[in-house]
């Protein structure tokens, strides 16, 4: 494979909208060819991009058959040349290169090609969170805040009166200094004092009522917002969820700071700031030129707030990212405490925690410094404004335009001007944190739910006779690796299908796609006559039962974990528990079926958790059974009970699809065997057609398929130790001799077909 050619690389960067200096790129290309001529093209490219200043670009080389075509454009190694590959439409690929005419080809023609794929740096729009349009989190907050608008006039009226009551305070001071003190008119002083006591009482009452109204509104708003976000989380497509639990938890919790800002601070700011202008007008009316002092300090304070907000933008985003990483590390450390302790890897996790904590502390110090600068500067401006107002007031008194009482009144009103200005500066600083929180919530709300909000869902009454996929491709979001590529695969009523294949072959992914947990990147999943993603999820859940490879239990009791959906009778629960041996778990606890289960199922073994997951599926009695490694953690007796129960409960029309690393134990049920390799079907047929070939190519003797569950233990079956020699090989593999090696048996597939 030759080094990447410069014209094609420049064309690819242009298609990806990655700006690069042409001269620097050409110089880096020449330097890399000289100094790294013998290295792999991928390493050459990474060094080239680094020398050209493009250090945030990731590169990978993948075989074409494993690339998700939606990730094009990319560079393609074909016919000993690098080509720029683009995808104008599904199924069509356009190839172009410098000095050659563009041409089109099909995806099948590129099966053996290699692809060089680039991912540019993630771009964040700093203004996205500031715009109401296209900002679902902000719209949701305003919608809930204005859902019942009756509180708005009450709060506005209370705030209006609270601000108006500040005026009598300044008038009281002015009257006392100008009339009471010179004449010692105690009767006037008593009257003014009584009036001020009434004003103070009314001010206290209005502020208390305003706070109560806002607290009530905030409480209801908080409940509705958190419920909407949580329900949206439950409806997300599982393949689009963030891989980091820390990030996901932070996105759900980020709404708290947004809610607090919009439910309290912003309301007071919107009402109090206009009164700052009113007080400046009153100061100008009473003290003349003193009004210009406070009018001049207003824009200065706002500029300080804007400057601080701009400086905080990058720091806040970086701190949130590191905090999410630390949260994810904490979750991993708690969940994997046994593995960390057993591997003596605590020092590494402690080191990672220390690095993240140091990074967060560094950003926090810078944030606090900026916030302290803003608050201190605003306070100093307030003091300077007070001093300047006194100085100007003295000149006004000397000129005879202002009395002593008027100067005192202006200083009191000046405090009512400075307070809203100082609060406004702090609101600008807080808004940066709120905008970052909005972006985090938007990242969650913009993820696609499993069904479109306005979609008219189908409610078919007939039970499905088939389950099929058509032109199916699947890859995770933002990943170029294609995990499934199945042009056509159909499962018919009554079939018992065994999925085999090497680790990473796509078995678990296929089961999740068939269960409706992962949405195909392309193609369709047909449940009966309808597209699975057009059917109401409630209908799908009654027809399709899925057992994940790793069963998750939840905090509660054994009963609540068995009846997870709540729609199970006690008789069915007890019958299933007895058949699977779960009644013995309950019998070992004084609480019986009410024995407590902690988060994650701690206290139960892996096999017991798997039995609970199996019981959920057995009690659901679905039409289509999708089981991923159903007996991986079970012993021989428990495994035999599971297969016996399945054979008893399966109806003739049911469809069973099992991925297992113990294929021979499932042979009594199997009517069809499918082998998946690299997301594609390599073998598909009856067990007596597929299994002997697999065993022979693995170095074992042909097998005989037992007819009953008890036949799985018959003498003619190979031993578990021998089957560990089995490997699932491609069709092109050369068969190994079968005469000199031991016969292969059930557990051979165990290690080699597990995914």
pLDDT at 704 over 60: no
Quick: pLDDT tens for 91-134: 788 888 888 888 888 877 787 788 888 877 655 444 433 433 46
pLDDT at 260: 64
pLDDT at residue 684 above 80?
A: yes
Contact 693, 518 (CB under 8 A): no
- Asked if residues 53 and 469 have their Cβ atoms less than 8 Å apart, the reply is no
> Is the per-residue pLDDT at 354 higher than 80?
yes
CA distance 391 to 380: 16
Q: Which residues pair with 674 in a beta bridge?
A: 499, 684
- Give residue-wise pLDDT tens across range 710-755: 333 333 333 333 333 333 333 333 333 333 333 333 333 333 333 3
The answer to whether residue 639 scores a pLDDT higher than 90 is no
- What are the residues facing 485 on neighbouring strands? 473
Res 62 pLDDT > 60: yes
Query: Mean pLDDT in the chain?
Result: 78
**652-666: pLDDT as tens digits:** 999 999 998 788 888
pLDDT digits over 393-437, tens only?
A: 888 887 778 788 888 888 787 777 777 777 767 776 777 777 777
Residue with more model confidence, 710 or 369? 369
* Stretch among 43-57, 205-219, 269-283, 467-481 having the lowest mean pLDDT: 269-283
Output the six-digit token pair for 172.
């009281």
Spatial distance between the Cα atoms of 328 and 243, rounded to a whole number of angstroms: 10
Q: What pLDDT is stored for residue 673 in this prediction?
A: 93
Q: What pLDDT, on a 0 to 100 scale, did the predictor assign at position 158?
A: 82
What is the rounded average pLDDT of the residues 311-324?
80
Q: Taking the C-alpha atoms of 554, 556, 559 and 564 in order, what is their torsion angle to the nearest 10 degrees?
A: -40
556-582: average pLDDT: 83
Nearest alpha-carbon partner for 721 in 694, 751, 693: 751
For 151-175, write each residue's pLDDT tens digit.
778 877 887 788 788 788 778 878 8
Q: What is the DSSP string of 49-118?
A: HHHTT-TT-EEEEEEGGGB-GGG--EEEEETTEEEEEEEEETTEEEEEETTEEEEEEESGGGTT-EEEEE
Three-state DSSP state, 31: helix
Region 356-385: what's the mean pLDDT? 84
Most confident of 47-56, 595-604, 675-684: 675-684
Whole-number pLDDT of residue 497: 94
State the Cα–Cα distance between residues 748 and 695, nearest whole angstrom: 9
> Which of 81-90, 144-153, 362-371 is predicted least confidently?
144-153
Q: What confidence score (pLDDT) does residue 719 get? A: 36
684 forms beta bridges with 674
CA distances from 724 to 307, 649, 695, 710 (A): 67, 31, 11, 22
User: How far is the C-alpha of 632 from the C-alpha of 718, rounded, in Å?
Assistant: 19
Q: Convert the pLDDT of each residue in 470-515 to its tens digit.
A: 999 998 877 788 899 999 999 999 999 999 988 888 899 999 999 9
Domains of the chain: 6-119 (3.90.70.10), 128-445 (1.20.1560.10), 466-553+604-753 (3.40.50.300)
Q: Where are the beta strands (DSSP E) in 530-653?
A: 530-531, 544-547, 556-557, 596-597, 624-628
Max mean pLDDT range (225-234, 411-420, 570-579, 695-704): 570-579
């Amino acid at each position: 494979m030759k080094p990447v050619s410069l014209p094609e690389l420049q064309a690819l960067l242009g298609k990806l909208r990655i700006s690069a200096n042409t001269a620097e790129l050409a110089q880096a290309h020449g330097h890399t060819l000289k100094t790294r001529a013998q290295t792999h093209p991928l390493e050459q490219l990474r060094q080239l991009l680094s020398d050209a200043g493009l250090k945030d670009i990731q590169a990978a080389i993948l075989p074409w058959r494993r690339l998700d075509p939606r990730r094009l454009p990319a560079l393609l190694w074909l016919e000993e040349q690098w080509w720029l590959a683009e995808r104008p439409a599904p199924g069509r690929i356009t190839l172009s290169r410098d000095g050659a005419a563009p041409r089109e080809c099909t995806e099948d023609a590129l099966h053996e090609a290699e692809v060089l794929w680039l991912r540019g740096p993630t771009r964040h729009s700093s203004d996205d969170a500031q715009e109401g349009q296209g900002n679902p989190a902000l719209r949701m907050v305003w919608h809930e805040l204005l859902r019942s608008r009756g509180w708005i006039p009450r709060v506005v009226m209370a705030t209006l009166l609270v601000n108006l009551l500040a005026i009598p305070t300044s008038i009281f001071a002015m009257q006392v200094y100008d009339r009471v003190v010179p004449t010692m008119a105690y009767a006037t002083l008593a009257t003014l004092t009584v009036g001020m006591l009434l004003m103070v009482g009314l001010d206290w009452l209005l502020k208390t009522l305003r706070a109560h109204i806002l607290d009530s509104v905030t409480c209801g708003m908080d409940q509705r917002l958190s419920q909407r976000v949580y329900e949206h989380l439950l409806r997300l497509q599982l393949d689009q969820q963030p891989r980091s639990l820390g990030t996901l938890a932070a996105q759900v919790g980020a709404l708290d700071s947004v809610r607090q800002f919009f439910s309290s601070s912003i309301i007071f700011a919107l009402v109090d700031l206009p009164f700052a202008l009113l007080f400046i007008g009153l100061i100008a009316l009473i003290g003349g030129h003193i009004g210009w002092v406070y009018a001049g300090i207003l824009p200065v304070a706002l500029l300080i707030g804007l400057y601080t907000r701009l400086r905080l933008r990058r720091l806040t985003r970086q701190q949130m990212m590191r905090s999410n990483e630390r949260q994810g590390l904490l979750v991993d450390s708690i969940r994997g405490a046994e593995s960390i302790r057993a591997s003596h890897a605590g020092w590494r996790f402690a080191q990672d925690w220390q690095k993240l904590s140091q990074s967060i502390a560094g950003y926090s110090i810078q944030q606090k410094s900026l916030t302290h600068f803003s608050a201190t500067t605003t306070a100093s401006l307030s003091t300077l404004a007070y001093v300047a107002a006194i100085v100007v007031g003295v000149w006004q008194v000397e000129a005879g335009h202002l009395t002593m009482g008027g100067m005192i009144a202006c200083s009191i009103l000046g405090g009512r001007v400075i307070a809203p200005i100082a609060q406004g500066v702090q609101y600008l600083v807080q808004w940066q944190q709120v905008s970052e929180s909005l972006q985090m919530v938007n990242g969650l709300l913009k993820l696609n739910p499993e069904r479109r909000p306005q979609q008219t869902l189908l409610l078919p009454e007939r039970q499905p006779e088939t389950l099929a996929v058509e032109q199916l491709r699947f890859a995770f979001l933002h990943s170029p690796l294609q995990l499934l590529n199945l042009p056509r695969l159909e499962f018919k009523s009554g079939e018992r299908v065994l999925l085999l294949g090497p680790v990473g072959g796509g078995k678990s992914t296929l089961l999740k796609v068939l269960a409706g947990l992962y949405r195909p990147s392309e193609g369709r999943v047909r449940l009966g006559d309808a597209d699975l993603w057009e059917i109401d999820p409630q209908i799908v859940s009654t027809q399709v039962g899925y057992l994940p490879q790793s069963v998750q239990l939840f905090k509660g009791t054994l009963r609540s974990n068995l009846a997870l959906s709540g729609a199970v009778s006690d008789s069915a629960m007890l019958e299933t528990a007895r058949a699977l041996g779960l009644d013995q778990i309950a019998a070992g606890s004084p609480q019986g079926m009410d024995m407590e289960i902690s988060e994650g199922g701690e206290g139960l073994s892996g096999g017991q958790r798997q039995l609970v997951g199996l019981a959920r599926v057995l009690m659901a009695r679905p039409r289509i059974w999708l089981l991923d490694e159903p007996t991986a953690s079970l012993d021989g007796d428990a495994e035999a009970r599971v297969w016996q129960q399945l054979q008893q409960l399966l109806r003739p029309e049911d469809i069973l699809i099992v991925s297992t690393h113990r294929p021979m134990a499932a042979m009594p049920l199997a009517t069809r065997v499918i082998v998946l390799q690299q997301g594609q079907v390599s073998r598909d047929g009856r067990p007596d057609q597929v299994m002997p070939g697999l065993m022979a190519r693995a170095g074992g003797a042909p097998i005989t398929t037992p007819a009953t569950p008890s036949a799985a233990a018959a003498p003619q079956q190979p031993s578990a130790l021998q089957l560990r020699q089995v490997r699932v090989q491609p069709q092109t593999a050369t068969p190994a001799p079968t005469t000199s090696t031991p016969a292969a048996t059930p557990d051979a597939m165990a290690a080699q077909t597990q995914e």
